[in-house]
Amino acid sequence: MMGGAEIERLITLLGRLPGLGPRSARRAALALLRQPHARMLPLAQAMEHAARAVRTCSTCGNLDTCDPCSICADPSRDRGLVCVVENVGDLWALERAGVHRGVYQVLGGTLSALDGIGPEDLNVAPLYARLEAGGVREVILALGATVDGATTMHWLHDSLSRFNIPVSRVGQGVPVGGALDVLDDGTLAAALMARRPA
């Protein structure tokens, strides 16, 4: 063991972050340890603040410090246009691209026979409630062009048909087999523009 249990634990926990292997976790730990007051404590405090402050929006499933989230609460957003995404990372990607002026519904996953994820595991009840309440003119399905994404869009299309509201899906621009949140802004914009009835 090098540098005591504290350093080992720091490296272990950093190494569990997506995108950080053991080697980059060590490099990150060293960078933090070299500047404990300028770098490590501010990051620790940012994590504690975020852990305390951030909650899941009960309307759309977004993560924010307020509920409803700042998107749902924004009077300038078009509540008649609901974009369904798999996860908050995809919502962030669309917001960075600035290509959707409506609101969102975050499913929290896709249907997956392999992972045993069924309709009851998806955060879709708030969407039904919004559609029942009226005022929604269109639902845009913005899921990745994976097998599970396509299955989910197909199922959503069926399950939303009873509301008699146009359901479209992002089409052109999403590469087959690709996830949504790796795409550049232009591709995301094209995919939204080229949406077609689901």
User: Which spans of this chain sit near Zn ion (rule: CB under 5 A)?
Assistant: 57, 59-60, 62, 68-69, 72
Choose the contact partner of 28 out of a second copy, Zn ion, none; CB within 5 to 8 A by kind. Answer: a second copy
Contact (Cβ atoms closer than 8 angstroms) between residue 136 and residue 114: no
Nearest CA to 80 out of 21, 20, 137, 14 is that of: 137
Binding partner of residue 84 among a second copy, Zn ion, none, CB cut-off 5 to 8 Å per kind: none
CB of 91 to Zn ion, least distance (A): 9
CB 54 to Zn ion: min, Å: 13
C-alpha count within 13 angstroms, C-beta hemisphere, residue 31: 9
Question: Is 36 or 177 the residue whose CB approaches a second copy more closely?
Answer: 36
Most distant CA pair in the chain, distance: 64
Pairing of strands 196-197, 167-169: antiparallel
Please report how many Cα atoms fall inside a 13 Å half-sphere around the Cα of residue 50, on the Cβ side. 8
User: How many CB atoms neighbour CB 13 within 10 A?
Assistant: 11
Pair 87, 106: CB distance under 8 Å: yes
Of the pair 28, 57, the CB lying nearest Zn ion is at 57
Instruction: Between 68 and 171, name the residue whose CB sits nearer to Zn ion.
Output: 68
16 binds, among Zn ion, a second copy, none (CB under 5 to 8 A by kind): a second copy
* Nearer to a second copy among residue 17 and residue 193 (C-beta): 17
Residue ranges in contact with a second copy by CB under 8 A? 1-7, 9-10, 13-14, 16-20, 23-24, 26-33, 36-37, 39-54, 62-66, 69-70, 87-89, 91-92, 95-96, 182
What pairs with residue 104 in β-bridges?
Answer: 83
For the bound state, the minimum distance from the C-beta of residue 75 to a second copy, rounded and expressed in Å, comes to 17
